[in-house]
């Protein structure tokens, strides 16, 4: 007869195993539907997807946004999502991609992390978007006055030791800072923000197997941009 401790461990293992099975089953079903053509295929070409973002940002910056009713299409979104673009965006609370590009809920597949860099978890999400959802465009979106980039510059300059997992954030942004320092840019922060975007776009071009292969086959387009918090305008790099 098992004791209480082993019983709890056994029950916990069973629950964890069950949750894992459900998750893997859901992904397998989605992949099977995608492979059979039943799931969402790219609704637009990569160039058309980019144009939608460019036009949407122009509307937002000029205060003529058309996506104001957040309840519109709510019932239709219950069964599936149909995003036409994926974004790697900063976690900054002042940056809201759906607003900045004047898109409705369900239009954008957004991966957010302070400093808008691509890590393993973020890449897995992008792979899901490309392979399962058929997304034709991935945008790495930086923004003006990025606190994560500014903090990285300060930490590297002062050789500060950070607590917790913050050093991982610094390490992810550091390659862009190093390059900008060699260039001796007039505005180091703005240059580092742009370089961080370019660096992560380049990383995605070699992110095998899923993203890199889709890019090479011209099924997916990569783009980099910087959002200006003060004006609401997006500059494409």
Q: For 44-62, how does the pLDDT look when each residue is reduced to its tens digit (9 = 90+)?
A: 999 999 999 999 999 999 9
Where is 29: in which H helix or E strand? helix 4-36
Question: Do 48 and 156 belong together in one domain?
Answer: yes
Same domain, 28 and 144: no
- Could you give the count of Cα atoms lying within 13 Å of 38 in the half-sphere of its Cβ? 6
Helix, strand, coil shares, percent, the chain, to 5:
50, 10, 35
What integer pLDDT is reported at residue 72 of this predicted model? 76
- 232 and 139: one domain? yes
Give yes or no: residues 83 and 121 share one domain. Answer: yes
Give residue 205's pLDDT band: very low, low, confident or very high (50, 70, 90).
Answer: very high
**Is residue 31 domain-shared with residue 108, that is, in the same domain?**
no
Domain, as residue range, for 1:
1-39
Q: What is the pLDDT of residue 27?
A: 56
- Number of folded domains in the chain? 2
- Same domain for 88 and 4, yes or no, is no
The DSSP output letter for 77 is G
Task: Note the pLDDT of residue 29.
Answer: 54
pTM: 0.82
The runs of H, that is alpha helices, within 37-107 are: 46-61, 97-100
If asked whether residues 88 and 124 sit together in one domain, one would say yes
Distance (Å, whole) CA 48 – CA 11: 51
Examine the domain organization and report whether 47 and 33 are in the same domain: no
Do residues 32 and 122 both lie within one domain? no
Average pLDDT, stretch 18-24?
47
Q: What is the CATH number of the domain that holds 137?
A: 3.40.1050.10
Which tokens in the block code for residue 20? 């894992």
Residues 151 and 213 in one domain: yes
For residues 58-89, one letter each, b for 16 or more C-beta atoms within 10 angstroms of the residue's C-beta and e for the rest, the string is eebbeeebebeeeeeeeeeeeeeebbbbbbbb
Averaged confidence pLDDT in the chain: 87
Q: Do both 163 and 189 map to the same domain?
A: yes
Within 109-183, residue ranges assigned H as helices are 120-131, 147-158, 166-183
* Residue 19 confidence (pLDDT): 44
Minimum mean pLDDT among 2-11, 18-27, 31-40, 122-131: which range? 31-40
Domain co-membership, 86 together with 170: yes
For the residues of 58-69, what is the DSSP string, one character each?
HHHHTT--S---
């Amino acid at each position: 007869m098992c004791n209480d401790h082993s019983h709890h461990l056994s029950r916990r293992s069973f629950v964890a195993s069950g949750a894992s099975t459900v998750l893997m089953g859901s992904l397998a079903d989605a992949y099977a539907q995608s492979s059979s053509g039943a799931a969402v295929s790219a609704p637009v070409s990569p160039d058309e997807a980019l144009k939608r973002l460019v036009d949407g940002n122009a509307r937002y910056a000029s205060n003529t946004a058309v996506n104001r009713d957040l309840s519109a299409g709510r019932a239709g979104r219950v069964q599936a999502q149909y995003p036409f673009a994926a974004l790697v965006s900063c976690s900054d609370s002042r940056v809201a991609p759906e607003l900045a590009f004047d898109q409705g809920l369900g239009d954008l597949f957004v991966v957010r992390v302070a400093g808008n860099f691509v890590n393993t978890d973020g890449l897995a999400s992008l792979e899901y978007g490309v392979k399962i959802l058929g997304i034709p465009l991935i945008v790495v979106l930086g923004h003006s006055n990025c606190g994560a980039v500014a903090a990285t510059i300060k930490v590297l300059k002062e050789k500060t030791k950070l607590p917790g997992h913050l050093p991982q954030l610094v390490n992810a942004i550091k390659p862009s800072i190093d390059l900008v320092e060699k260039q001796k840019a007039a505005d180091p922060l703005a240059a580092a923000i742009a370089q961080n975007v370019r660096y992560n776009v380049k990383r995605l071009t070699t992110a095998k197997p899923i993203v890199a292969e889709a890019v090479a086959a011209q099924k997916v387009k990569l783009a980099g941009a910087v959002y200006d918090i003060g004006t609401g305008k997006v500059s494409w790099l």
